Structure 1
Amino acid sequence: MFIVSVCSLKGGVGKTSVTLGLASAALHQGINTLVIDLDPQGDSTLGLLGEPATGLDIAEVLSSPRTETVDRSIVPVPWSEGESSHLDLIPGTGRSALLDSPAPAAKDVRRLREALDKRTHQYDLVLVDCPPSLNGLTQTALAASDRALVVSEPGFFAVTAADRALKLASEMREDGIAPRLMPLGLAVNRYRPRSVEHQYRLAELRDLFGDLVLEPVIEERVGLQQAQGGAVPLHRYEGASGKRLTEDFDALLRRVLDSRQHS
């Protein structure tokens, strides 16, 4: 089971869009996947189920990380109907905000790792959609993860935000809190190739972070929002930009999975 935290320091960069694009690519490629919605806004839950969660959620799992609680919280996603692989979800709700301490205790940071160790369902890939901060919930996700995928946009604040997120991942590994964690890299999202500002910021990110800036860069395309608004996987979306988006997320997923070879 390969666990990847999808995180960012600030909201509005399309972190959930990247999570759902990767989930769609994984389903399309026959990879059994679990999405964990740690963001109190619950956008991944809404995008995958088409409605807010009503049963057990991730807050319940973190409060009581027992096998029974974990297994009962996992719900199948309608996207996987008729597919050869399955896509499941541990839903997120606003209740998880109560657990998002800016200075979490070490035992709390380990709770997601403990919970995932106790599940009986089998997955090839776990994608954790983190809140747009580096507080307790994100640290809990990173402590359980093999890789940290930082989502950024090509904007003025992108460099500082990306740098802080990558440094947190390194510090947690060095401190022994996240022993398996490695930085996967920066997924640059919402890029507008005709924008001079975006061209400049993307070049700045590449100068500073080098190979950590992942290819492909995800361009801003309306199809991503339309697919999510319809609660359908990107790979079934038939709009004009669908083919380019699916190719980009298939390629990004390959980068994610190829990173398993490095430790």
Structure 2
Amino acid sequence: MFIVSVCSLKGGVGKTSVTLGLASAALHQGVNALVIDLDPQGDSTLGLLGEPATGVDIAEVLASPRTETVDRAITPTPWAEGAASHLDIIAGSNRSAVMDSPALSPKEVRRLHDALDKRTHQYDLVLVDCPPSLNGLTQMALSASDRALVVAEPGFFAVTAADRALKLATEMREEGIAPRLQPLGLVVNRYRPRSVEHQYRLAELRDLFGDAVLEPVIEERVGLQQAQGGAVPLHRYEGASGQRLTEDFDALLKTVMDSRQNS
């Protein structure tokens, strides 16, 4: 099982959009996947289920990381109905916010790691949608993960935010908190190719981070929001921008899965 945390330092960069785009690509390509909604806002839960969760959620999993709790929390998504592969979710909860302290003990940081070790369900890929901060919940996610995928938009604060997020992943591995963790790279999202400011910021990110800036850059397209607003997989969206978006997320998923070979 390959675990990837999708994280950012600030909100509004489309972190959940990237998570759901990758989940749609995984379903389309026959990759058995689990999404863990670790963001107390629960946007991935709404996108995948079409409504807030009513059963066992991530807050209960973290409070009691036992096999029974984890297995009860795993919910099949409507996206996967009739599909050859699984796409399940452990739903988000605003109650998980109480665990988002910036100063957790080593035992607390390993709660998600311990929970996933006790599950009985098997997956090819686990995507963890982290809160837009580097506090306790994101640290839990990184501790359990093989890769950290940082999402940024081409804006003024992007360089500082991306640098801090990538450095945290490296520090957690070096300190032994996340021994398997490697930074996968930086996804630039919501890019507007006609914007001079976005062109400048993208060039700046590439100058500073080099190959860590992943291809493709995800352009800002209305289809992504429309698909998510309708709680349908991007790969079933029939709008004008659907094909380009699905090609981009298929390519991004290939980069994610290929990174397993660099362990």
TM-score (norm 2): 1.00
The CA distance in 1 between the partners of 2:110 and 2:93, in whole Å, is: 20
Deviation at 1:88, TM superposition (A): 0.2
CA distance in 2, matches of 1:57, 1:75: 9
**Corresponding residue of 1:81:** 81
- Partner residue, 2:261: 261
How far the C-alpha of 1:106 sits from its partner, in A, is 0.7
Q: CA-to-partner distance for each residue in 1:143-162, whole Å, 9 max, x for gaps?
A: 00000000000000000000
Residue identity over aligned pairs, in percent, reads 87
Matched, 1:41 2:74: no
Match of 2:230 in 1: 230
Q: Match for 2:133: what amino acid?
A: S
Equivalent pairs, count: 263
Q: Which residue of 2 aligns with 1:111?
A: 111
Aligned match of 1:166: 166
- SS of aligned partner of 2:210: helix
Deviates more, 1:135-144 or 1:96-105: 96-105
Distance 2:115 2:260 in 1: 22
Is 1:70 aligned to 2:41, yes or no?
no
Partner deviation per Cα, 1:193-229 (whole Å, 9 max, x = no partner): 0000000000000000000000000000000000000
| Offset at residue 93 of structure 1 (A) | 1.1
- C-alpha distance in 1 between matches for 2:210 and 2:53: 40
**Aligned amino acid, residue 15 of structure 1:** K
Distance 1:3 1:33 in 2: 10
**Whole-angstrom distance in 2 between the partners of 1:185 and 1:105:** 27
Alignment match, 2:245? 245
Does 2:53 align with 1:53? Answer: yes
Q: Tell me, in whole angstroms, the C-alpha distance in 1 between the residues paired with 2:58 and 2:197.
A: 38
**1:126 paired to 2:100:** no
The letter of the residue matching 1:16 is T
SS of corresponding position for 2:123: coil
1:102 deviates by: 1.1
Aligned counterpart, 1:93: 93
Q: Which one-letter code corresponds to 2:247 in the other structure?
A: E
Q: Residue 148 of structure 2: SS of its match in structure 1?
A: strand
Q: Structure 1, residues 122-164: CA drift from partner, whole Å, max 9, x if none?
A: 1000000000000000000000000000000000000000000
2:52 maps to a residue whose letter is P
1:187 aligns with: 187
Q: In the TM superposition, what is the alpha-carbon distance from 1:57 to its structure 2 partner?
A: 0.5
Partner Cα separation in structure 2 for residue 147 and residue 102 of structure 1: 21
1:73-109 Cα offsets, whole Å, 9 max, x none, are 0000000001000100000010010110011111010
Q: Aligned partners of 1:261 and 1:32: how far apart in 2? A: 18
Give structure 2 stretches of 5+ with no counterpart. none
Q: Which residue of 1 aligns with 2:140?
A: 140
Regions of 4+ moved over 3 Å? none
Q: Which amino acid aligns with 1:259?
A: S
One-letter amino acid of the counterpart of residue 67, structure 2: T
| Partner SS, residue 126 of structure 2 | strand
Counterpart Cα distance in 2 of 1:258 and 1:209: 20
Counterpart of 2:101 in 1: which secondary structure? Answer: coil
> What amino acid sits opposite 2:73 in the alignment?
S
AA aligned to 2:90 is I
Mapped to 2, the partners of 1:210 and 1:127 lie a distance apart of 25
